[in-house]
Amino acid sequence: MGISKESVITALRATGTRDPDILERKRIAMRSAARSSWIAGGVLLLLGAGLCFLPPGILAGIPVILAGAGFGHRGWRNVNAVEAGYAEFVNSSSR
C-alpha cells in the first residue's frame, strides 16, 4: 500500500470541513493505517533475526529480514507522506 501526499490532501478535502479537530482525527486514522506496514516490517525483522540463530533457519531468516526491511521502509515513507500532506493542507487552508 503506497500513500502519496496528494492522496492525503484529497482525503482531507473529502471531509468537507476545515475544523481542526476533524482534520486531526482523519490524520490520525490515516497515520495508523500507514503505520501498520511499518510495524509489520519490524516484526518481520525480529522474526528473521530469530530464525538466523538456528543453523537451518539462516536460509529462511535472510529473506524474512529483507522483506521486513522493505515493509518497514514503505511504512516509514507512508507515515511521512501522511504528515507532509496534512501539513501542506493545513498551511494552504489557513491562508
Per-residue pLDDT tens digits for 18-71: 899 999 999 999 999 889 989 999 999 999 999 999 888 889 999 999 999 999
88: which DSSP letter? H
Tell me the CA end-to-end span of the chain in Å, nearest whole number: 32
Structural domain contains residue 8: no
Global pTM value: 0.82
Look up residue 63 and give its three cell numbers.
529473506
DSSP string of 34-49, one letter each residue:
HHHHHHHHHHHHHHHH
Q: What pLDDT is attached to residue 34?
A: 86
Judge whether 37 lies within some domain: yes
**Domain carrying residue 70:** 20-93
Residue 61 lies in a domain: yes
| Residue 93 banded pLDDT, cuts 50, 70, 90 | low
pLDDT at 95 exceeding the cut of 60:
no
Q: How far apart are CA 49 and CA 53, in angstroms?
A: 7
Are 51 and 60 a contacting pair, CB within 8 Å? yes
Number of domains in the chain: 1
